[in-house]
Amino acid sequence: MSFTLAIVGRPNVGKSTLFNRLVGKRLALVDDRPGVTRDLREGEARLGDLRFTVIDTAGLEEATDESLQGRMRRLTERAVDMADICLFVVDARTGITPTDEVFAEILRKRARHLILAANKCEGRAAEGGLLEAYGLGLGEPLRLSAEHGEGMPELYSMLQPLADVVTEVDRAAAPDTEVDLDEDETDAPRVPTREKPLQIAVVGRPNAGKSTLVNALLGEDRLLTGPEAGITRDAISVSLDWGEMPVRIFDTAGMRKRAKVTEKLEKLSVSDGLRAVKFAEVVVVLLDAAIPFEQQDLRIAALAEREGRAVVIAVNKWDAEPDKNAKIRELREACERLLPQLRGVPLVTVSAKTGKGLDRLCDAVVSAHDVWNRRVSTSRLNQWLTGMVEAHPPPAPGGRRIKLRYMTQAKTRPPGFVVMCSNPKEMSESYERYLINGLRQDFDMPGTPIRLWMRSQADQNPYKDRKKSTPSRLRKHLK
């Protein structure tokens, strides 16, 4: 059966390293400094024949106020309450600290089932801390080295009997943190399923309200939020249903200009966010209504277009905007002018704080996903191509006009089209943009990336570059 295991402990005791070991992927950010993890990250773990959900938590802090550390502690306590088993991790090299003793007492009262693990136990330097762990009164500590994979059989032996006594309840098993979408799979429109839900990445600059937006969509405070910029570090995924459609949303770290990103940890956070964009199907670029379309916003939207993802522009903090009519006209004009490669991209105004506009955002995301999967028949494309050529003939380099013979759609996700022509190397970029804009308008594909390839029929001839050979019967007469 499936159960939930929460990994808890002080900052920098190796919880994220152990999480990555159990899920078999480097999903959680790991660094030498304490306090890297802030949000709850879930993943599907495998240990022998056990299959369970593991939760990586923020380091337990003694703060209980409204500070960042206090909010992180409340999230961790929430994970303890919802988990079937808690794995309390201490650092064997550092030894038992007063903070460990405080939290051992808290976990003894709150956790349903508790396992004590002493991490970093490789080598003799950990012997003293391992002996000190007995003083917590939580039974014999499990000797672990998450970095080197030591102690995994012993962890399995301790989890197996507990898994049998966990209360039988219906638990929605959390799927893998990401699903790799195979670009070579069948080209039919993809219908999201429980195994492969619709994947959405929420990206933007720091403090645009990404985590608050995801919490509003979930209807609960699942992600850590606050007035401080740069709270989110990992790309955290959460699952929910929009009506009958299964959805997974990735909340990503704020992306600043590359020149300002100097610290290793921020580089890791931005890299994790970029990875989430590559795994997503729809990218929601979240702007701040007070300072929309900054240079970094445009770079993020252009990145999503280059990756071939469907894009939705969401303008947050709309409740604080005084003149909404004038502002929306300004936003639409700026969007068309600054993002010509995404002409017609959906632009939705929302307020993550009040929840207004979320239904329109959901509709825009579903619509963008449908367009991203759209296929046009070859007959319709060639009728359309004839009309486009008659209205505006292709260029004539060197006095010889390029002939467009026929057109077909080669792929979806994003839509990609091949045009067979007489001289593809001489085709101008302006004429390709003319065709792409026509495809957007006439086949109702606003905002989605469109790929257009010019090909020559000679490119498909395997004998194109082969030299003519002289028949063998004539060679002796030519000598």
Bind-site residues for GTP: 9-16, 56-60, 119-122, 204-211, 251-255, 316-319
User: Which position has the token pair 């306590």?
Assistant: 77
DSSP-H helix ranges across 61-166: 68-82, 98-110, 127-133, 152-165
3-state helix, strand, coil in the chain (%, to 5): 40, 20, 40
Contact 252, 201 (CB under 8 A): yes
Furthest-apart CA pair in the chain: how many Å? 103
Contact 215, 225 (CB under 8 A): yes
What is the C-alpha separation between 40 and 72, in angstroms, rounded?
Answer: 9
What is the C-alpha separation between 351 and 314, in angstroms, rounded?
Answer: 10
What is the C-alpha separation between 163 and 278, in angstroms, rounded?
Answer: 36
What is the C-alpha separation between 450 and 417, in angstroms, rounded?
Answer: 8
DSSP-H helix ranges across 310-467: 324-338, 358-372, 378-391, 429-442
What is the C-alpha separation between 365 and 341, in angstroms, rounded?
Answer: 18
- What's 356's DSSP letter? B
Q: Is 440 helix (H, G, I), strand (E, B) or coil?
A: helix
Contact 163, 1 (CB under 8 A): yes
CB neighbours of 62 closer than 8 A, spacing ≥ 6? 73, 99, 102
* Binding-site annotation, residues: 9-16, 56-60, 119-122, 204-211, 251-255, 316-319
- What's 121's DSSP letter? -
Contact 344, 311 (CB under 8 A): no
- What's 169's DSSP letter? -
The two three-digit tokens of residue 195, written as one number:
């195994």
The two three-digit tokens of residue 339, written as one number:
């993002």
What is the C-alpha separation between 337 and 112, in angstroms, rounded?
Answer: 57
